[in-house]
């Protein structure tokens, strides 16, 4: 636990050095599994938010830039559903096109894969307006995009803290 806290402090200090911080923090073994999506996204993105994943969108208001377009290093915030009460957050690893991204995230699967870190997982925008408000996410147990369409709030952009914080 001390190693995780020390690394999070180092990531926070590194973010204070200025410049663009759109690059993801490298994967580190100390982020051991099992891990939930929130501490994983916080460590990978450098976005200093807490609380359940669904709360991140409102918590970012006035602290981080938010938007409907993905950027590498941003955090996709997926809203709550009856089956997913805490929501979900995932870090954008790569933008493949206007409607497809790859994400790194944790705790997306059930059973033996619960709490595992998954990298390079597809997420597809299926919203009618191409605004990333509805997404389908790669589901490892079936090795395909899942059938469920999830509500999404949008993207919180790393390295875009508002001045004065």
**Where do the domains of the chain lie?**
2-161
Question: In whole angstroms, what is the distance from residue 95 CA to residue 49 CA?
Answer: 23
Confidence band for 111, pLDDT divided at 50, 70 and 90: confident
Mean pLDDT, rounded, for 24-51: 85
Mean pLDDT, rounded, for 62-79: 97
| Structure-token pair, residue 156 | 């919180």
Confidence band for 25, pLDDT divided at 50, 70 and 90: low
Question: In whole angstroms, what is the distance from residue 30 CA to residue 155 CA?
Answer: 26
pLDDT higher than threshold 70 for residue 15: no
Task: Flag the least confident range among 22-31, 49-58, 85-94, 112-121.
Answer: 22-31
pLDDT higher than threshold 50 for residue 115: yes
Please check whether the domain covering 2-161 is classified as CATH 3.40.50.1000: no
Question: In whole angstroms, what is the distance from residue 90 CA to residue 164 CA?
Answer: 27
Question: In whole angstroms, what is the distance from residue 91 CA to residue 56 CA?
Answer: 13
Pairing mode, if any, of strands 75-78 and 134-139?
unpaired
Q: Could you tell me which residue, 70 or 5, shows the higher pLDDT?
A: 70
Please indicate, yes or no, whether the overall pTM of this predicted structure exceeds 0.85: no
pLDDT at 160: 60
Residue 118's H or E segment, with its range, is strand 117-125
Task: Name the burial class of residue 79, with classes exposed (0-12), middle (13-18) and buried (19+) by CB atoms within 10 angstroms of its CB.
Answer: middle
Decide: 53 and 87 in contact? Cβ < 8 Å: yes
Q: Determine what percent of the chain is predicted with pLDDT higher than 70.
A: 78
Mean pLDDT, rounded, for 114-130: 96
């Amino acid at each position: 636990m001390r190693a995780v806290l020390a690394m999070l402090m180092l990531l926070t200090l590194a973010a204070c050095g200025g410049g663009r911080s759109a690059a993801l923090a490298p994967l580190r073994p100390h982020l051991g599994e099992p891990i939930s999506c929130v501490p994983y996204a916080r460590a990978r993105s450098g976005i200093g938010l807490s609380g359940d994943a669904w709360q991140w969108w409102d918590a970012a208001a006035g602290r981080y830039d938010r938007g409907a377009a993905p950027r590498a290093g941003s955090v996709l915030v997926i809203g709550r559903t009856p089956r997913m009460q805490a929501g979900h957050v995932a870090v954008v690893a790569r933008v493949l096109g206007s409607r497809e991204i790859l994400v790194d995230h944790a705790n997306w699967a059930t059973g033996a894969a619960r709490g595992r870190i998954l990298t390079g997982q597809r997420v597809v925008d299926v919203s009618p307006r191409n605004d990333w408000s509805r997404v389908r996410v790669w589901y490892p147990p079936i090795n395909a995009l899942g059938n469920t369409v999830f509500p999404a709030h949008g993207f919180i952009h790393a390295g875009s803290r508002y001045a004065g914080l």
